[in-house]
Structure 1
Amino acid sequence: MALCPKSVLITGANRGIGLEFVKQFLKLDVPPKFIFACCRQPDSAEDLKSIASGSSVVHIVKLDVQDQSTIDTAKTYVESKLEGQGLNLLINNAAVLHLKGFYDVTKQEMMDHFETNAVGPLIVSQTFISLLKQAAGVNPTAPMSCSRAAIINMSTGVASISENSSGGIYPYRASKAALNMLTSNMAIDLKGDGILVTAVHPGWVKTNMGGPNALIDTETSLKGIMSVFAKLQGEEGTGKFYHGVKGELIGW
């Protein structure tokens, strides 16, 4: 099934995986009519501004997942552009990573990770839920999909409890494991509204966060993820944890 959402919102879109999402959506056979590329500091997002300058589709929006006022302002702006058609796809991508272990992690680092990596995506999803419901209602008999109405939470393989064999990375692992639980919960609670909710691991990607020793580049990661997005449909596509590059399920 072709991936063809009319509107997409991406948090953390100024660099890395978020920026590559913008590029890949523009390359679709039928690109979205609206790509809302969100970041904390739009004025300094030079790569994103360069893309937006050449495309009327891309709208750069200020949004800090730790700042409710920016989330509310972003929602008002997005709603004003959508012409009553709602938001088809919300990608919760913004995240923070500190490589701290048992002996050196602090309470504040744990709290910062939970606020950005778990609470942030929940609050963004809550704020935009009316627009996702609106989109789902445009085609009420269609199966759930990323083209109809969906929330994708960008997770990580190191959040898997069942596959953890190396320990460490306490704040990132724990906060992303919490995001996985939120994904499972939201999938159950929003299924009746026709909204698909799934978690995706992008692989170990060469970004500022992933570092230079990572295994793949952003383009390779995103091509895999976009392929997974296209396949997500109905009951089988929601409430899961996918490896975006391999296309297979990861154990919670």
Structure 2
Amino acid sequence: MKSVLITGSNRGIGLELVKKLTDHVSPPKIIIAACRNPDSAQDLQEFSKTHKNVHIIQLDMTQSDTFDKTVQEVENIVGDEGLNVLINNAGILKETATINDITAENLTLHYLTNTVGPIMLTKAFIPLLKKAAAKNSSLPLGVLRAAVINVTSVLGSISQNTSSGSHGYRESKAALNMATRSLSVELKGDGILATVIHPGWVKTDMGGQNANLTVEISASNIVKTLYSLTEKQNAGFVQYDGKELPW
């Protein structure tokens, strides 16, 4: 993997993915860590000072009108090699609402951040992903060639929804899953893999302290899974350790 861009890299799973990829036996030459407020991302800033392959850029997933500028900034970093992997990790969980509690504003915010943002960002980066896929055309489908990895949640699984609640989060992630299936069909011919990964229930600001996984365990397993992805997992729904999940 020559280059990877990870959204939501200021904390939690995103930040830990930056660290785990850097520590990989064969780390990416370029790791682009995107976050909404780089100046306040102190842990990321400190980490980048001792890891010269980490580049920090500003990116707000709700501001799709800025994505073309982001692509240009990334192209200035990766050059003619293109972008190998886009990891759409940034997301929000603002409520645990039932049907009696939800509002249109809340639903819209979840869709904008968790679904529309990743779709539009992927669209913007398709030229750079295609360039990477073409440069590595001798390699099979996977992250060493080109891939879009959308971080989802098992809460977006329709068949496993037995508890309801969290309408905005659940439904935006289910929509992201569907979008990824569509992308997997459209981009396969260009040599670009598309899949969704559930990171597990992780002890983060979003997951809470009752979660059963640390960010270190989740991120280290995600990295192993990323490197193991093949054409078989194109259009797949897998969790952090590679286990397939039901849609």
* TM-score, L = length of structure 1: 0.96
Name which of 120, 125, 128 aligns with 2:125: 128
Partner of 2:167: 170
Give unmatched runs, 5+ long, in structure 1: none
Instruction: Determine the C-alpha separation between the residues in 2 that align with 1:171 and 1:147.
Output: 34
Partner of 2:40: 44
AA paired with 2:68?
D
Per-residue deviation, 1:139: 1.9
State the Cα deviation string for residues 207-238 of structure 1 (Å, max 9, x = none). Answer: 0010111111001001111121121112x120
Partner of 1:104: 101
Partner of 1:63: 59
Instruction: Determine the C-alpha separation between the residues in 2 that align with 1:148 and 1:226.
Output: 16
Paired positions, count: 246
Q: Percent identity?
A: 46
State the Cα deviation string for residues 89-126 of structure 1 (Å, max 9, x = none). Answer: 10000101022221111110000000100010000000
Partner of 1:251: 246
* TM-score, L = length of structure 2: 0.97
Instruction: Determine the C-alpha separation between the residues in 2 that align with 1:199 and 1:176.
Output: 10
Per-residue deviation, 1:141: 2.9
Contact 1:62 1:70 in 2 (8 A): no
Instruction: Determine the C-alpha separation between the residues in 2 that align with 1:77 and 1:105.
Output: 38
Pair 1:229 & 2:213 matched: no
Partner of 1:29: 25
Instruction: Determine the C-alpha separation between the residues in 1 that align with 2:56 and 2:79.
Output: 18
Per-residue deviation, 1:69: 3.9
Instruction: Determine the C-alpha separation between the residues in 1 that align with 2:66 and 2:32.
Output: 14
Partner of 1:74: 70
AA paired with 2:245?
I
AA paired with 2:74?
V
1:88-237 aligned within 5 A: 88-98=84-94, 99-234=96-231, 236-237=232-233
State the Cα deviation string for residues 148-182 of structure 1 (Å, max 9, x = none). Answer: 10000000001000111111110000000000000
SS in structure 2 of the partner of residue 82 of structure 1: helix
Instruction: Determine the C-alpha separation between the residues in 1 that align with 2:239 and 2:136.
Output: 28
Per-residue deviation, 1:83: 2.3
RMSD: 0.9
AA paired with 1:168?
G
Instruction: Determine the C-alpha separation between the residues in 1 that align with 2:133 and 2:204.
Output: 33
Instruction: Determine the C-alpha separation between the residues in 1 that align with 2:133 and 2:220.
Output: 25
* Structure 1 ranges of 4+ moved more than 6 A: none
Which piece of structure 1 moves more, 46-55 or 175-184?
Answer: 46-55
AA paired with 1:188?
V
Instruction: Determine the C-alpha separation between the residues in 1 that align with 2:243 and 2:26.
Output: 26
